[in-house]
Amino acid sequence: MRTQNIKSLDEPLRQIKYTGSIVVLLMLTLFLAQVRAQTANLGKLLHQVEANAPTLKAANANAKIYSANRFEGLGKLFGSLDAFGQLQYFNDNRLTRPISPPINFATMPYDSRQIGYGLSLTLPLDINGQMITQLTSLAHQEHAAAYDAANVRLAVLNQAAALFHGIESISGKLSALNKQADAIRKQLAITIVAIKVGRRAPVDSLRMQSELSNIEGQIADANGTNLKLRAYLAALLNQQSFPDSVAPPANQPLDIQNSPFEINDRPDIKSIEEKVLAANSGVSVAWESFLPKAYIQGNWMVNQGFNGKGKDAPFWQIGLTVDFPIWTGLTRVARVQEADAKQLAITEQRNVLKNSANAELVSSIGDWNSSKSQYLSAESSLKAALEVERIQKEQFNQGRLSVTDYLDAEAKLAFARASYFAALAHWLQADDSLRLAQGLPPSAYTNYTTP
């Protein structure tokens, strides 16, 4: 009876086991699909950095400050119009106008409580041109701030690309080390069998285990570097972490032999040119302070009993004021000297920046060509190392090669693989740096299109 019960339960248990296996397989498939979907794309990542980087947000906010300053300067040209209301109490009745003969007290006093309202107008007349020149200076400062923000954008994008290429290089190194470790593990299993039948000495097994431990240490070190680079990249993305998988580099940069090289489109060059123009305007503003200023002021007011009859009486006045500066204790002279010094300083800074930009461009071209040569050399070395490893592996399996020579061949192959990926990543980074030297974002940013 008990046996029949066990048999009757056996079939449902098998069905449950089979169904569970299918569920686990489906879940594993979905997980792998999700992992593939989370593989990082540099172009997409750079657009995310552009949208989320705190440094870039701060630079854009700073540019808006200068834009607001320009609008404030523009507003001053149109003067101001204010509405006002007033309530006044006096301890005795007042007179509506100064006493002059013939005096008629009956119509002159008004109430001790006065309620009034009206409009006040101030309109500057820029007869010395100072306000227009100041507005021109503010416009150049606004443009300079916008170019500064664009320069920060390029620097942030290049920094993110450099970190990504670093992670790509580490991924290539880890791939090479893991392949080396897998190869040694396989040969270790073969060697253990060979030791049992007397074809290999026990010391060969110990030598392989020691080398395997060394490789595992290198893998741990590479993983540590990988985590550090990912932390810096996550900071640029304004995220807690960057968990996306990154494959080793694969694509080569486009050739640059026929490309024109210019620095005039760099945002930092454009920014300092605008700052020079702003400094020139600053000198003009300082000199224009020696010229007269003029403005119109007007008031319109309705005040209770102002005409002495206890009724609301409209009142208006308008006037023109002209200021002729004569003496201010040499403060205007000092402002001219200050403006001249600022103009000279920013002009020299422009010269320094242009010389530095030209040197950076020449250096970037040299680094690009050098990186390409290193990549081609690493590619040739990898091909040679693959062939050597194949031959050494065959000889080792045939017992014609020592374990030391075999491990040496595996190590050289791993080094060649890692060097290949590192050289390609460096070449890609050199291409980004060359584009940065010309005021251009990384090519991955430009080539990316939203799917």
Backbone angles phi, psi at 224, to 5 degrees: -65, -45
- The count of other CB atoms within 10 Å of the CB of residue 336 is 17
Which residues, other chains included, contact 11 with Cβ-Cβ below 8 Å and sequence gap of 6+? none
User: Which DSSP string corresponds to 154-185?
Assistant: HHHHHHHHHHHHHHHHHHHHHHHHHHHHHHHH
Per-residue pLDDT tens digits for 366-376? 999 999 999 99
The β-bridge partners of 86 are 116
- What SS3 class is residue 265? coil
Q: Which long-range contacts (CB under 8 A, 24 or more apart) does 215-219 make?
A: 215/177, 215/180, 215/181, 215/184, 215/414, 216/181, 218/177, 219/174, 219/177, 219/178, 219/181
Q: Where are the domains of the chain?
A: 40-78+128-290+331-447, 84-125+295-324
- The whole-angstrom separation of Cα 450 and Cα 46 is 12
Closest-CA residue to 349 (of 282, 434, 274, 437): 274
Residue 29's pLDDT band (cuts 50, 70, 90): very low
Q: 176-199 pLDDT, tens per residue?
A: 999 889 988 988 888 888 888 887
DSSP 8-state symbol, 254: P
Task: Please tell me whether residue 327 adopts helix, strand or coil conformation.
Answer: coil
Compute the average pLDDT of residues 67-76.
91
**111 touches 93 (CB < 8 A):** yes
Taking alpha carbons only, the member of 34, 54, 428 closest to residue 243 is: 34
Which pLDDT score is estimated for 5?
A: 47
pLDDT of residue 102: 61
Give the lowest-confidence range in 27-41, 89-103, 280-294, 342-356: 27-41
Mean pLDDT, residues 17-36 taken together: 47
CA 105 to CA 94: how far, in whole Å? 11
Single-letter residue type at 287? W
The CB density around residue 404, as the number of other CB atoms within 10 Å, is 11
The pLDDT value given to residue 306: 59
CATH code of the domain made up of 40-78+128-290+331-447: 1.20.1600.10
426 phi and psi angles, rounded to 5 deg: -65, -35
Q: Which residues have a Cβ under 8 Å from the Cβ of 246 and sit 6 or more positions away?
A: 39, 40, 164, 167, 168, 171
What pLDDT score was predicted for residue 3? 46
**Statement: residue 269 has pLDDT above 70:** yes
Pairwise CA distance, residues 377 & 369, whole Å: 12
Least Cα distance to 81 among 123, 46, 41 occurs for 123
Query: According to the model, what pLDDT value does residue 25 have?
Result: 52
Range of lowest pLDDT (62-76, 123-137, 297-311, 349-363): 297-311
Cα of 249 vs its chain's centroid, Å: 23
Helix (H, G, I), strand (E, B) or coil at 7: helix
249 upstream amide cis, omega within 30 of 0: no
Q: What is residue 194's predicted lDDT score, i.e. its pLDDT?
A: 83
Q: How far apart are CA 357 and CA 272, in angstroms?
A: 12
Other beta carbons within 10 angstroms of residue 187's beta carbon come to 21
Residue 32: the pLDDT is 43
Neighbours of 3 (CB within 10 A): 7
Q: Please classify residue 192 by burial: count the beta carbons closer than 10 Å to its beta carbon, then call 0-12 exposed, 13-18 middle and 19+ buried.
A: middle
CA neighbours within 13 Å on the CB side: how many for 243?
A: 6
Please tell me the number of Cα atoms within 13 Å of 226 on its side-chain side.
Answer: 21
Q: Which pTM does this prediction carry?
A: 0.80
| Cβ atoms of residues 306 and 96 within 8 Å | yes
The rounded distance, in Å, linking the Cα atoms of 140 and 271 is 9
